[in-house]
Amino acid sequence: MKKKIITISREFGSGGRTIGRQVAQELGFAFYDKELIEKVAEESGFDKQYIEEQGEYAPAKSSFAYAFIGRDRNGMSISDYIWQAQRKIILSLAEKGNCVIVGRCADYILQDREDCLNVFIHADMEKRAERIVKLYGETDKAPKKRLEEKDKKRKVNYRYYTDREWGASQNYHICLDSGKFGIEKCAKIIAELAREE
């Protein structure tokens, strides 16, 4: 197996993270999701929760944190600062060895590497709404509204930093509808592709 890095981009509620974890387990690869967030938090000095919320949803509108955290020495916005920290960490993780990286524009950041398999996972609104209610419970906001908001933020974030279209098939080697095939099957297809190359 030559392939070393699998990046998984995903619509909110599509099960992309779970698929990534299963692929990593099946292949014995490192799995960077929470751990990536922790590293970015450490590198940037920001709180883990803040990174988790903002790292894929920037550019953030608020500039409040500027003065508070005092990270604007280079004239960078907080979003750009987090982006730089994420980028640095993703590039260094990719050097370390076989891994699965979830989200955070890793497909774009690692585009110059030949050893990446870039995956996008999506599912229809209904299936994803069902999934987020099951996983995260109900909130005041209707599930579809929550999905639309998160997707929009990821889309804006991706376009802002990559100048590419989030979810456009041409940016990925394989895109799968997890609502159609199911989590297990998607993980199986990806692991097999990684094994065979």
Interface with its own copies in residues 142-171 (CB under 8 A): 165, 167-170
195 counts as binding its own copies under rule CB under 8 A: no
Residue 171 neighbours by CB distance under 10 Å: 18
d(CA 52, CA 38): 9
Residue closer to its own copies (CB basis): 27 or 186: 186
d(CA 144, CA 147): 5
Residue closer to its own copies (CB basis): 140 or 163: 163
* Cβ 125 to its own copies shortest distance, Å: 10
Q: Under DSSP, is residue 11 helix (H, G, I), strand (E, B) or coil?
A: coil
* Cβ 17 to its own copies shortest distance, Å: 17
Please tell me the number of Cα atoms within 13 Å of 158 on its side-chain side: 22
Report strand pairing: 174-177 vs 99-102: unpaired
176 counts as binding its own copies under rule CB under 8 A: yes
92 counts as binding its own copies under rule CB under 8 A: no
Interface with its own copies in residues 106-125 (CB under 8 A): 120, 122
Residue 178 neighbours by CB distance under 10 Å: 26
88 counts as binding its own copies under rule CB under 8 A: no
57 counts as binding its own copies under rule CB under 8 A: no
Report strand pairing: 99-102 vs 116-122: unpaired
List 26, 72, 148, 177, residue binding its own copies (CB under 8 A): 177
103 counts as binding its own copies under rule CB under 8 A: no
Give the residue among 8, 9, 14 at the shortest CA–CA distance from 123: 14
What residue ranges bind its own copies (CB under 8 A)?
11, 120, 122, 165, 167-170, 172-177, 180-181, 185, 189, 193, 196
